[in-house]
């Protein structure tokens, strides 16, 4: 299992819509997340920054993420959520959610 922490900014004018989307997340998208070996997925918000945490329990992260990206329902979900977000300044080219470095863990 590998733990991930990621960040992205939330457009202030989109906060209410983003919250509404996630309070009624689509079952098809949640199912695809599970199919792609992601567990314990959480998103937190503070001061305009979204922080995501999830655990990956698969064997091929890149293949699972490609499978997720190919899913039409997930693409439709991202078409709703992406306009709400702004990558952080230090995001890599093409990176939406920027991966964070783990500096501490206590099981």
pLDDT digits (tens, 9 = 90+) for 1-23: 999 999 999 999 999 999 999 99
* Residue at 42 is within a domain: yes
pTM for this prediction: 0.92
Give residue 101's pLDDT band: very low, low, confident or very high (50, 70, 90).
very high
**For the chain, what is the domain count?**
1
CATH of the domain at 14: 3.30.70.1090
* Residue at 101 is within a domain: no
For helices 27-35 and 72-81, give the axis angle rounded to 10 degrees: 120
* Residue at 6 is within a domain: yes
φ and ψ of 15, to 5 deg: -60, -50
Give per-residue pLDDT as tens, 26-68.
Answer: 999 999 999 999 999 999 999 999 999 999 999 999 999 999 9
């Amino acid at each position: 299992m590998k733990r991930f922490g990621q960040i992205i900014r939330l457009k202030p004018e989109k906060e209410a819509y983003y919250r509404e989307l996630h309070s009624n997340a689509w079952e098809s998208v949640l199912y695809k997340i599970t199919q792609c070996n992601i567990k314990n997925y959480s998103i937190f918000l503070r001061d305009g920054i979204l922080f995501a945490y999830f655990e990956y329990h698969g064997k091929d992260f890149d293949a699972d993420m490609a499978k997720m990206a190919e899913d039409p329902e997930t693409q439709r979900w991202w078409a709703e959520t992406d306009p709400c977000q702004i990558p952080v300044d230090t995001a890599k080219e093409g990176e939406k959610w920027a991966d964070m470095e783990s500096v501490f863990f206590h099981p």
